[in-house]
Structure 1
Amino acid sequence: MAGGIKEWPADERPREKLFKRGTDSLSDAELLALIIRTGDSVSGRSAIDLGRALLQEFGDLRTLAGATVTELCRIKGTGPAKAASIKAALEMAARINSDRLLVCRERFTAPEQIYQHYHYTFRDRRKEYFMALLLDGKNRIIREVQISEGSLNQSIVHPREVFNPAVRESAAAVILVHNHPSGDPTPSREDLDITRRLREAGDLMGIRVLDHIIVGDGRFISFVAQGMW
């Protein structure tokens, strides 16, 4: 349709469609239009046009969520303010999905439980993140601690970085979790060596390492479930 969104029939405007038919009636481009609010006065493109351009460039909302502000700003008409709004909205959605699945004092019962939480957090990350979940004597989650960011090696995933917070929280056990940005959760030699080293340190300190879970794209590896313990 030619002209700005305000010139469109009321039933076709994203905001009015949302009020009348609900959010399910909106396309991905229309949802993005509501987030970025205004079009580009220079090119004359509407907010929906910009939403379509973003989706054409990145393919889908999931890939868009993983884009940086700089990458978003490469789309003509999408400046820092619009890019920041997009990043904030998609991050809130990711946090809602993540936070509802794993809560403090929830009891750990299976590796699938950890995967269901972390695959929302990790699925669009381009770097490796190594986390430790601290548990009490009844395997209830006390809290999570980020140990490192970046490619894993024994200098940054050191036993003291894992077990210092465990000691401070009086944790009885820990679960190790990290992601593989490649999408393939198969453990590397470095993963195996770090896991062995941390298990040995935990045994000495009386803090059990219950499992190491590697999160990939749509799948995961549990060291315990795979018999690697």
Structure 2
Amino acid sequence: MKLKEWPEAERPRERLIKEGAQSLSDAQLLAVVLRTGINGKTVVETAIELLNKFGGLKGIEDASVNELQHIAGLGIAKIAQIKASFELGRRVLSHAEKEKNFNSANAVYNYLYPKLSGLKKEVFITLLLDTKLKLIKEIKVSEGILTQTIIHPREIFKEAVKHSAYAVILAHNHPSGDPTPSEQDLDITKKLKKASEILEISLLDHVIIGNGRYFSMKEKNLI
């Protein structure tokens, strides 16, 4: 049976409008994004196939464009729709967290995890905060393997001085998923801590983002 032949109450798009997006399963929500099926399958069957192929929504989100293109019949337009829907979700989460106070490592994790999850490279970010620990600006300092040459105090604190930041929080991801700090991470943090004391800009924490967990230098009394 083609999707248009289903009872109207069972069609994902119509059900979403009538009952709300929260009433739909993962497959049904993905079907709304895809709009039409491929290779003679209904759009719901196509969505289920994708979920099974990649192990759920997270697997689809993490899949590269090249990996998605290997699915027969899945064209660039549908791939773009999928990628755009996940990015919209990440931006909504980040915007909501941005309004909160960054008074804990957990708050940092909740804000940055949607952005850093699944990345293949390390990305080093500085969060500039005001006296209420609200975000003034987010700075991407570097992308790639961290070294003390790249992560230099000058690069970290010049924007903090420019924007009159009261404090900064450092953060980066570990693509391996294990947030345990390396010796390089510890050395960089010590160097930046000394620089922050000289400039009288508080270095509140260095948070390493892993897969579903984080490591806080402050919580472990390493900063």
Q: What's the TM-score once normalised by structure 2's chain length?
A: 0.91
Aligned-partner Cα distance in 2 for 1:20–1:32: 17
- Tell me which amino acid in the other structure corresponds to 2:206: H
Q: Shift in Å at residue 166 of structure 1?
A: 1.0
Q: Shift in Å at residue 137 of structure 1?
A: 4.1
Structure 2 gap ranges (5+): none
3-state SS of paired residue (1:100): helix
Identity of aligned residues (%): 46
User: Pick from 28, 31, 40: which aligns with 2:29?
Assistant: 31
- Residue 169 of structure 1: aligned partner: 163
1:195-206 superposed matches below 5 A: 195-206=189-200
How many residues were matched structurally?
Answer: 223
1:83-98 superposed matches below 5 A: 83-98=79-94
Is 1:158–2:152 an aligned residue pair?
yes
1:202-225, CA deviations, whole angstroms, 9 ceiling, x for partnerless residues?
223332212111111222111111
8 Å Cα contact 2:98/2:134 also seen in 1 = no
- Residue 70 of structure 2: aligned partner: 74
Is 1:51–2:47 an aligned residue pair?
yes
Q: Runs of 4 or more off by more than 4 Å in structure 1? A: none
- Tell me which amino acid in the other structure corresponds to 1:195: T
- Tell me which amino acid in the other structure corresponds to 1:206: E
Q: What's the TM-score once normalised by structure 1's chain length?
A: 0.89
8 Å Cα contact 1:180/1:214 also seen in 2 = yes
Q: Shift in Å at residue 200 of structure 1?
A: 2.0
Structure 1 gap ranges (5+): none
Aligned-partner Cα distance in 1 for 2:132–2:16: 46
Aligned-partner Cα distance in 1 for 2:164–2:19: 51
Aligned-partner Cα distance in 1 for 2:134–2:37: 49
Range with bigger deviation, 201-210 or 127-136: 201-210
| Superposed CA RMSD | 1.8
Aligned-partner Cα distance in 2 for 1:32–1:73: 17
Aligned-partner Cα distance in 1 for 2:16–2:133: 44
8 Å Cα contact 1:54/1:72 also seen in 2 = no
Aligned-partner Cα distance in 1 for 2:132–2:7: 60
